[in-house]
Chain A
């Protein structure tokens, strides 16, 4: 391997990074109303102010926070339960792990199609319930999709996020359980006590990171709310998309201002996570080596 090889190997990721950063910067510049091609040349905060003041934005923000917080909290809890089940039944490696990976690999658009074919009033479950006489007509099947409670979107996220949390925290929890969990049991803690006093608290850094990743992802993701969400209020990324494809191209800065706000909120989430985790570190919570 000559000296240039590492630089050549790193080029694809550098190029992707440059494209990504260029896109973000370009979007932010456009959000301040500067798009010379559309004859918009004045830098202004007006688009942000208008977006924030609009009732539709607040509704969209509420919907987005509702979807991302509920799906992420549920995914973190269920994912942790799944991880614990895998660790305590000795399945931290092997075939089960492959099934988990498979669930993560399936794209959200496919998950949306699954959801439609399973959960809609024309879907498999509705037909099954009708067939076995649990409901009189298929339209009696409860609405999961395109509703204001966003149940379909939340279930769609859980499909991928529960295995993601499990996969992300499995190796840490498994190694803690093998060493410190074993020590705790040897010192008189039952398996349950050992889990709640030792294994779970020490696995929290991985679970916390997985939670932050899925929270910020689901806050900014567009596909599931677009495919499974209610007509109004729309999730923030969907609203931004609507503005983006508005026939009047001069609406573009509104879309970009919404994207800017999504970026700001996700950065704030990451900042809060960092502050919370660094406060734990000061208390001596340095345990990620396990």
Chain B
């Protein structure tokens, strides 16, 4: 079902947390709310679920206004970061809790709990207690319990952040598989840009209670609307200049750029810079940082007013102190209007 957030503002303790948020999530779409801690993304999630009341604006689900619908009738179910499993219940009782609340009979809700346990790959765990399972298993149970509530919108509040790296990967795959299978409109709250880029159909980037950009992962990464968005995905070096007649001109270089005339900042990310060793150049390698799959090479020009970075997969012949020539990949340069 399509979810529409119209002009939502939220204040908590007299502090404005969300400022006129507008967002449309299409039926069956998987979107991410991405941003740093404190940007308001979890507040937006709780506002959608009705746990936090908005100061102004409306939330529409399938065209129906949700504002006066109490949280327990919304079917906008959250999977919390801290799981929030009920400690006085078994795993099966936890999963079947939403069904029990609907008045489904015991044999039926237990059957459904066992089915859902199978979906989250925890068959045979139904009679265990919450304190007998690991963090990763708790997260799966929380997901199964949310699915038992038959959600119209599934809200995932940083569900993987408390898991270790390997578990996180498994859980991401599980969530993606289930979302594709069940076609539930899903919103993931995360501060992990890689998670947002790999899992989502679209990403809404939030900063200071506002959505800065709402776009596909590829677009938001390649065409960030401002330096805040650009820096969150991958930092680099900004060079100021202007574009005239489809050419970017700066103090350091000029290059073709398919943009309108005006002042711009050109962002040179490490991936946009190719380097090769040479005898005579104004650029010198000042640091070489091992990063596992590759090396980050830091370069300064002789005047010291241009500091660039490049990534090299095979850095065999380049060492600190070497002079290097640089080549800019114009397709990977990002021009942000000033």
A, B assembled together: yes
Interface centre among B75, B84, B130, B145 (most CB of A within 10 A): B84
User: A182 to B51, Cβ gap below 8 A?
Assistant: yes
From known contacts A284-B131, A286-B131, infer whether A186 and B72 are also in contact, taking CB-CB under 8 Å.
Answer: yes
Name B's A-contacting residues (CB within 8 A).
49, 51, 70-73, 75-78, 80, 82, 84, 86-88, 90, 97-98, 100-102, 129-132, 145-146, 148-149
Could you mark each residue 109-152 of chain A with 1 if its beta carbon is under 8 Å from any beta carbon of chain B, else 0? Answer: 00000000000000000000000000000000000000000000
Bound form: Cα–Cα A103–B242 in Å: 73
User: A187 to B98, Cβ gap below 8 A?
Assistant: yes
Bound form: Cα–Cα A218–B226 in Å: 69
Please provide the chain A residues from 192 to 217 with a CB less than 8 Å away from any CB of chain B in the complex. 193-194, 197-198, 201-202
Bound form: Cα–Cα A188–B149 in Å: 7
Whether A183 is near chain B, meaning CB under 8 Å from some CB there, is yes
Contact of B84 among A180, A197, A285, A286 (CB under 8 A): A180
From known contacts A187-B146, A187-B149, infer whether A287 and B51 are also in contact, taking CB-CB under 8 Å.
Answer: no
Closest A residue to B142 by beta carbon equals A183
Bound form: Cα–Cα A284–B94 in Å: 13
User: B87 to A188, Cβ gap below 8 A?
Assistant: no
Main SS of chain A's interface residues?
A: helix
Interface centre among B80, B101, B129, B132 (most CB of A within 10 A): B101
B84 — which chain A residues lie within 8 A by C-beta?
179-180, 182-183
A283 — which chain B residues lie within 8 A by C-beta?
129
Interface centre among B75, B80, B87, B98 (most CB of A within 10 A): B87
Pairs across A and B, CB under 8 Å, 10 listed = A180-B84, A185-B72, A186-B49, A186-B51, A187-B72, A189-B97, A189-B101, A190-B72, A194-B72, A285-B88
Bound form: Cα–Cα A186–B72 in Å: 5
Whether A184 is near chain B, meaning CB under 8 Å from some CB there, is yes
Closest A residue to B132 by beta carbon equals A284
A183 — which chain B residues lie within 8 A by C-beta?
78, 80, 84, 86
A202 — which chain B residues lie within 8 A by C-beta?
86-88
Closest A residue to B99 by beta carbon equals A188
Say how far A81's CB is from chain B's closest CB, in angstroms. Answer: 21
From known contacts A284-B130, A284-B131, A286-B131, infer whether A187 and B88 are also in contact, taking CB-CB under 8 Å.
Answer: no
User: B129 to A189, Cβ gap below 8 A?
Assistant: no
A198 — which chain B residues lie within 8 A by C-beta?
86
Say how far B72's CB is from chain A's closest CB, in angstroms. Answer: 5
Contact of B87 among A186, A191, A286 (CB under 8 A): A286
Closest A residue to B84 by beta carbon equals A183
User: B82 to A284, Cβ gap below 8 A?
Assistant: no
User: A285 to B87, Cβ gap below 8 A?
Assistant: yes
Bound form: Cα–Cα A180–B51 in Å: 13
Bound form: Cα–Cα A202–B76 in Å: 25
Closest A residue to B75 by beta carbon equals A188
Closest B residue to A290 by beta carbon equals B87
The number of A-B residue pairs with CB atoms under 8 Å apart is: 73
From known contacts A183-B80, A188-B149, A189-B101, infer whether A201 and B88 are also in contact, taking CB-CB under 8 Å.
Answer: yes
Closest B residue to A187 by beta carbon equals B98
13 more A-B residue pairs beyond the given contacts A180-B86, A187-B101, A187-B148, with a C-beta to C-beta distance below 8 A? A182-B84, A183-B80, A183-B86, A185-B72, A187-B146, A188-B73, A188-B98, A188-B101, A188-B102, A188-B149, A190-B70, A198-B86, A290-B87
From known contacts A182-B51, A285-B88, infer whether A187 and B129 are also in contact, taking CB-CB under 8 Å.
Answer: no
Contact of A186 among B71, B102, B129, B148 (CB under 8 A): B71
Say how far B212's CB is from chain A's closest CB, in angstroms. Answer: 28
Say how far B133's CB is from chain A's closest CB, in angstroms. Answer: 11
Could you mark each residue 51-92 of chain A with 1 if its beta carbon is under 8 Å from any beta carbon of chain B, else 0? Answer: 000000000000000000000000000000000000000000
Say how far B48's CB is from chain A's closest CB, in angstroms. Answer: 11
B78 — which chain A residues lie within 8 A by C-beta?
183, 186
A194 — which chain B residues lie within 8 A by C-beta?
72
Bound form: Cα–Cα A285–B90 in Å: 10
User: B129 to A284, Cβ gap below 8 A?
Assistant: yes
A179 — which chain B residues lie within 8 A by C-beta?
82, 84
A184 — which chain B residues lie within 8 A by C-beta?
86, 97, 101
User: B87 to A287, Cβ gap below 8 A?
Assistant: yes
Could you mark each residue 277-290 of chain A with 1 if its beta carbon is under 8 Å from any beta carbon of chain B, else 0? Answer: 00000011111001
Contact of A284 among B72, B87, B97 (CB under 8 A): B87
A201 — which chain B residues lie within 8 A by C-beta?
88
Bound form: Cα–Cα A182–B84 in Å: 9
A188 — which chain B residues lie within 8 A by C-beta?
72-73, 75, 98, 101-102, 149
Bound form: Cα–Cα A194–B78 in Å: 16
Say how far B96's CB is from chain A's closest CB, in angstroms. Answer: 10
Bound form: Cα–Cα A180–B89 in Å: 12
Say how far B44's CB is from chain A's closest CB, in angstroms. Answer: 15
Say how far B286's CB is from chain A's closest CB, in angstroms. Answer: 49
Closest A residue to B89 by beta carbon equals A284
Closest B residue to A182 by beta carbon equals B51
Bound form: Cα–Cα A180–B71 in Å: 14
B129 — which chain A residues lie within 8 A by C-beta?
283-284
Interface centre among A183, A190, A197 (most CB of B within 10 A): A183
Bound form: Cα–Cα A285–B88 in Å: 5
B87 — which chain A residues lie within 8 A by C-beta?
202, 284-287, 290
User: B71 to A185, Cβ gap below 8 A?
Assistant: yes
Bound form: Cα–Cα A179–B81 in Å: 11
A286 — which chain B residues lie within 8 A by C-beta?
87, 131
Bound form: Cα–Cα A197–B72 in Å: 14
Closest A residue to B78 by beta carbon equals A186
A180 — which chain B residues lie within 8 A by C-beta?
84, 86
